[in-house]
Structures are given as structure tokens and as C-alpha cells.
Amino acid sequence: MATEFEDGFPAEKLFDQGYSYTYDDVIFLPHYIDFPTDAVNLSTKLSRNVPLSIPWVSSPMDTVTESHMASAMAALGGIGIIHSNVTPSEQADMIRSVKSRRVPILSSPVFKAPDSRIVDEFDSNDVPFVLGLRETKLLGYIARSDWLGLKDREVKLGEIMRTDANVCVPWDYDLGQIDEKLKKEGRDFVVVEKEGGEVVDALTKEEVDRVKGYPKLGKGTVGSDGRWMVGAAIGTRESDKERLEQLVKAGVDVIVLDSSQGNSVYQVEMIKYVKRTYPELDVIGGNVVTMSQAQNLIKAGVDGLRVGMGSGSICTTQEVCAVGRGQATAVYKVSSIAAQSGIPVIADGGISFSGHIVKALVLGASTVMMGSFLAGSTEAPGAYDYDEKKKCRVKKYRGMGSLEAMAKGSDQRYLGDTAKLKIAQGVVGAVADKGSVLKLVPYTMQAVKQGFQDLGASSLQSAHDLLRSKTLRLEVRTSAAQVEGGVHGLASHEKKAF
């Protein structure tokens, strides 16, 4: 249904007036609904050769994406990008950990050599069993109840552990298969093994039941190796070539060149190096916010672009360096040039709720990348603290350009090896507990589908067609309209989306 009236602005006109707009500045005008919400298909591409069933990417930050987050993202049909603020071998181990499981659970069981004694392993009530391992192979286990019932606790683990080969399941068992085994055999846990008998993890019934309580998982992101897909970030230094080699050996599926200003000689050369050395590997360049930055990286051979400079919740780049762009304008501008070469765009940073995701995707992005939105979840690295003032559980969340993160490892790449004066471009903070992403993401995706339905877009492609045919109309919201668009005028209220 074409627009008969001149009502609202097409994006082309709105974003060409010299203003840097962000998501909150703009609002879409509704169109025509002729399909149900569930008919909205949000499958997409992260990069040229990486298809996803949901447009969801977790940020390569050390308080956001390690193995647990990346496995959960893949299980949901999105993808996680493992950060590089660790040694190359640690980063490669995280890739291997994602590739060696089919359930979005990571439990790090306690294990000991069979000729050692159990000392204080069962002191914590959270430890239901101890595994007897020689190198990486399971020899047996002792359950907490067995241990508590022992008269002589001085014996070696090997003398008291149970040996039961049936406790093991292969690495590619999914949640349903593991659940069935636990139920059928009345077990409290199973041990997941890789080919060759190497122990991957041990999963308790309690954890499996917890994950079963979340919305049913859809189509996970599985690569041509039959394993979950996972990405990793690297920099543009000479040493990053060695890092890359280790990541490739570990099976990484896509590489993100992680920089605030990707249009540099260093990045152009790195893109060419990656494509020359590993032609099968997708490489995502960025970050960019302008059409000419994007064009340069497309010419160099990128398979995807990451958009956003200073828009992140922990970013101070625009304040410190006076460079960047409002994220709605950046996403629209970069996407319009990238679309001409068929290069998918990741809208990175500045996402606080589902409406921002709708805006990013409809303005031309193929996926959204999030840091703060995911940082307080069960799957994010780190433990929860209790915030006495806010009366809630929180997890640490920090910028990769914060002094603290630079001190942890990125400083060498951050300001150049010889730089003496360090300037932070990010802060350290905390975000509230969000629960598991296995619940957060499906509910948020449902909200995104409702937004697409209101616009009459049944897929990302149809949203982009509406955008480019100028059927999609939008307007800038004044600050009063923004207030009106939020909850207002109430003495108090509780906001709960699901």
C-alpha cells in the first residue's frame, strides 16, 4: 500500500538536514497491518556468510561476552563476539568451549585427581559432586550425599568414587536429550564429553530444569562444522595476526576488527591480510558512522560493518574527542551505502529497550549489538553484587576504553605502545540484574515483532524495502513529544514489560 499523502518525512529527507539524530529523537509513523505478529520473520545476516535466525549480537567486551554468553546467544539464534582483553590462548579456549557444547549452560564442575583427598570441596552447599579426572578424562565421581555418609574421609578419591560410564553424554546432546536421560535414569547430573572422552562440563538437573523453564529455544546458530557459531574480536596490531591464527585454529566463525574509528590504514591493511590469509573467514570492519568511512572498508573487502561511535552507554568518546554521530543518523547513512554492496550492518551501542532495536533494524541495520542491555544477565561474566542504595543485584559493566579495562590488558593496543599519557574513553559502572538472556531475548524479540507489525513489515527485507521506497515515514520528536511518549504524570508506577 503506497502512501497517497505527503505525511511525515521519508528517511532520506529527514536525515539530510544537518542534525545528528539518535533513536529517541525519531519516531516511525504506523502503516498497515495485514499479518499476525507471529508471521514476522526476523532472520538475518551478521555478515556476508553468517546467517542468524534473530538479529542479535553480544558485544566484544570483557563484562559482556565470554563462553557462557556466546553459547546462549548461539542457542537463541544470535551470535556472541568474544572479547580480546585476554591472552590469545585464553580467547581461543573460550571459542573451544562454545564449540564443545549444545546447551546454553556453563557450570564449571569441581574435579580432582583420583589419588588426592577431598579437603574442603564440599564446604560450599553449591557443590553437588566432585569428578575424578585424569588429565581431561572422567574416571569416576563422588556425590555430596555419598561423601557426607562416609565414616573415613581420609581416603583417596579413587578409592571411594563411583565409576559409571552411563553418566556421560556426547557433546552434541541438546537440552531435550539431556533432560530425557536425567528423567529416565533418575539422575541428578550428567557429564558431557567430547570425542575422545575429554570432559566438557557436568550439568545438574537443577540447571537443566532452570533453562527448561524459559521460552522454548528456536533454531540455534550452527556453522558448517556442525557446531555453534561464535565470533571473536581482534585489533589491528602486528601481534593480532598471531592472535588470529590461534582463533582460527580454535574454529572461530567470524572476526570483528574492534576499533572506535575503523577507517584507518591499520584496519584497511588488516582486512586485506585476513581476506588474503583466510579467504573463507568473514571479517567485520568498524566502527564507522559515515558513508565514506564505510565505502573505504567495503573497498578493502569487509564482509560486514559495525556502526556506532560514542553512542554506547559507557562511552565518553564524543565528550573526549568531539567525534562521532547520533546513532540513528549513523545507522541510516552507513546502511544506505552498505546495502548497495550487499554488506550487512551491525547497529552497535545505545540500545536500551525494544523500541531502539526496532528503530535500528528499520533504519537499515541487519543486526543490533548490545553491551549494557546484556551485561546484568546470568550469562554475562562476573558475579553479582548487591547495591544497597538501589536495593537490587548488580553486575559490573565497563567500557573497553576505561582506565580499568585498559589496565587489564587493552592498554598496549589502546594508546599505542609508546604512549605515556593514558586518556580514558569509557567508564566503569554497574547494571541491574536482568535474569537470564534465555528469557530476556525471546520476550524482547516478541516486542520487536510487534513494532514490525505496526509498520507493516513482515521481515527485515520488507522493512528495508519500505525504508528505501520512501513508504516508511518518520518524524523528529520534540523534547515535549519525547516526554509524552514515555510514562508521565503519574504519582508512581511500576514498569514491567514481561
Ligand X SMILES: O=c1[nH]c(=O)c2[nH+]cn([C@@H]3O[C@H](COP(=O)(O)O)[C@@H](O)[C@H]3O)c2[nH]1
Ligand Y SMILES: NC(=O)C1=CN([C@@H]2O[C@H](COP(=O)(O)OP(=O)(O)OC[C@H]3O[C@@H](n4cnc5c(N)ncnc54)[C@H](O)[C@@H]3O)[C@@H](O)[C@H]2O)C=CC1
- Cα separation, 441 vs 89, whole angstroms: 30
Taking residue 287's Cβ as centre, other Cβ atoms within 10 Å add up to 30
Q: Is 81 exposed, middle or buried (0-12, 13-18, 19+ CB in 10 A)?
A: buried
Q: Choose, by CB under 6 A, the member of 263, 317, 410, 444 that binds ligand X.
A: 317
**Nearest CA-CA partner of 231 in 258, 247, 253, 246:** 253
Query: In the complex with ligand X, which residue's Cβ is closer, 131 or 256?
Result: 256
Report the distance separating Cα 408 and Cα 396, nearest Å.
Answer: 14
Rounded Cα gap, residues 267 and 251, in angstroms: 22
**251 annotated binding-site participant:** no
Q: How many residues does the chain have?
A: 498
Residue 256, H or E segment = strand 254-257
371 in contact with ligand X (CB under 6 A): yes
Residue type, 66: E
Minimum CB distance to ligand Y smaller for 223 or for 285: 285
Q: Which does 105 bind (CB under 5 to 8 A by kind): K ion, ligand Y, ligand X, none?
A: none
Question: Can residue 444 be called a binding residue for ligand X (CB under 6 A)?
Answer: no
| Closest distance of CB 357 from ligand Y, Å | 18
Closest approach of Cβ 227 to ligand Y, in Å?
Answer: 26
Interior angle at CA 498, CA 177 and CA 388, nearest 5: 100
Kindly name the residue from 102, 243, 315, 325 that is annotated as catalytic. 315
Q: Which residue is nearest to K ion (CB)?
A: 315
Residue 212 sits at φ, ψ, to 5 deg, of -65, -25
- Per CB under 6 A, the list member of 274, 314, 338, 343 interacting with ligand X is 314
Terminal-residue alpha carbon distance, the chain: 33
Among the residue ranges 199-207, 246-254, 346-354, 457-465, the one whose residues contact ligand X (CB under 6 A): 346-354
370 near ligand X, judged by CB under 6 A: yes
Applying CB under 6 A, the span of 15-23, 218-226, 232-240, 308-316 interacting with ligand X comes to: 308-316
Per CB under 6 A, residues contacting ligand Y are 235-237, 258-261, 264, 266, 287, 308-310, 312, 315, 317, 349, 400-401, 413-414, 416, 425
From ligand X, ligand Y, K ion, none, interface partner of 329 (C-beta below 5 to 8 A by class): none
Catalytic status, residue 413: yes
Q: Does 289 bind K ion (CB under 5 A)?
A: no
CB of 418 to ligand X, least distance (A): 21
- Binding flag, residue 456, ligand X (CB under 6 A): no
- The answer to whether residue 168 is catalytic is no
Smallest distance from K ion to CB 47, Å? 25
| C-alpha–C-alpha distance, residues 30 and 154, integer Å | 72
408 burial via Cβ count (<10 Å: 0-12, 13-18, 19+): middle
Site for K ion in 302-321 (CB under 5 A): 315
The answer to whether 262 is annotated as binding is no
**Which of 262, 426, 442, 451 forms a contact with ligand X (CB under 6 A)?**
426
Q: Find the catalytic residue in 101, 227, 243, 413.
A: 413
Asked if 75 and 98 count as a contact pair (C-beta separation under 8 A), the reply is no
> CA-CA distances (angstroms) from residue 240 to 235, 248, 473?
6, 12, 44
Residue 463 host element (H or E): helix 460-468
HSE-up (13 A, CA, CB side) for residue 484: 7
The CB-of-234 to ligand Y minimum distance in angstroms stands at 10
Which residues sit at the interface with K ion, rule CB under 5 A? Answer: 315
Please enumerate, by residue number, every residue annotated as part of a binding site.
258-260, 308-310, 312-313, 315, 348-350, 371-372, 397-401, 425
Catalytic residue numbers, as ranges: 315, 413
Which residues sit at the interface with ligand X, rule CB under 6 A? Answer: 59, 61, 260, 287, 308, 310, 312-317, 348-351, 369-373, 399-402, 425-426
